[in-house]
Amino acid sequence: MALLAVDDVTVRFGGIVALSDLSFEVERGQICGLIGPNGAGKTTLFNCVSRVYQPTSGSIFFDGEDLLSVPAWRTAAKGIARTFQNLALFPTMTVAENVMVGAHAASRQNWLTAALRLRTHREDDQLRSQAWELLTYLGLQDIAFRPCAGLPFGTLKRVEIARALAARPRLLLLDEPASGLTHAEVAELADTLRAIRSDFDLTILLVEHHMQMVMGLSDNVVVLDFGKKIADGTPALVREDPAVVEAYLGSG
Ligand code: ATP
């Protein structure tokens, strides 16, 4: 059984159809790329899977369970974590505290509640040591006690990944992790994603415009255009698909 199954999902915002009868599956342990032009509906799909938006119609199954019937605040506890296109870290909190927020979110409610709890309760030793392990794993230990505000963008992207991992997810949704990174940082990120997939037993859904990275990393690629799926297959197949070349890849 697929870990994630999106079944006939439609999302309308007034007159705008952001997703139209979208169906695809992500197998356990896969890295699945989700690509398409600006406005194709990629972030909207992330917002449905992470339960920010309720689809207008359709179903989403996570590990066989009807995800849309699970209360939205339990999404992290179910094993789904995400990062954001525009970073969503708490700037005045330290790197370590931001990562601990992720760990709290898995067992409690949303990030804001988790952040408040962290500030008002004694820190839990187990959470602290889990956060420290992750920071070390991702090479962030030297900046663990610095506030996020003012740290380089590429570093903050790694902190977001650490925070998502702290929730011990089975499915990780990454929204444009390579955007704004240097060439060297993108290569490093690709290595990190390969490593965390196997070391943390993860399934990854990856929205990304950096074609070299997404094609190099993904087992399967789903292509959206104007909210509709126009292709779904291996990177080699998708890259050659005339509809994908016309809608998105162009001559490049
Ligand atoms: P990008 O690559 O630029 O991030 P995307 O593929 O992620 O684009 P979405 O952000 O999902 O695309 O947007 C899909 C469509 O839905 C767009 O037309 C967008 O304007 C619209 N849309 C998304 N969120 C909302 C909202 N909250 N209210 C109204 N329209 C929305």
Cα 51 to Cα 146: distance, rounded to the nearest angstrom: 31
pLDDT tens-digit series, residues 66-105: 999 988 888 888 999 999 877 788 999 999 999 988 887 6
Q: Which two tokens stand for residue 224?
A: 């959206």
The pTM assigned to this predicted structure is 0.91
Amino acid letter for position 34: L
Question: What does the pLDDT average to over 229-246?
Answer: 94
Q: Which two tokens stand for residue 180?
A: 């704004």
Whether residue 205 has pLDDT greater than 60: yes
pLDDT tens-digit series, residues 12-64: 999 999 999 999 999 999 999 999 999 999 999 999 999 999 999 999 999 99
Evaluate whether 200 touches 161 at the Cβ level (below 8 Å): no
- Cα 158 to its chain centre, rounded Å, is 12
In order, the DSSP letters of 168-179 are --SEEEEESTTT
Of the chain, the percentage scoring pLDDT greater than 90 comes to 75
Tell me the three state secondary structure of residue 175. strand
Residue 84 is predicted with a pLDDT of 86
Predicted complex ipTM: 0.97
Residue 120 is predicted with a pLDDT of 55
Q: How confident is the model at residue 106 (pLDDT cuts 50, 70, 90)?
A: low
Cα 9 to Cα 131: distance, rounded to the nearest angstrom: 36
Residue 25 is predicted with a pLDDT of 98
Residue 208 is predicted with a pLDDT of 94
Residue nearest to ligand 1 atom 16, measured at CA: 18
Residue nearest to ligand 1 atom 11, measured at CA: 41
Residue 3: name the closest of 173, 192, 174 by CA: 173
Instruction: Indicate whether residue 18 lines ligand 1 (CB < 6 A).
Output: yes
Instruction: Indicate whether residue 36 lines ligand 1 (CB < 6 A).
Output: yes
Sheet hosting strand 171-175, strand order edge to edge: 80-82, 171-175, 203-207, 31-35, 220-225, 228-233
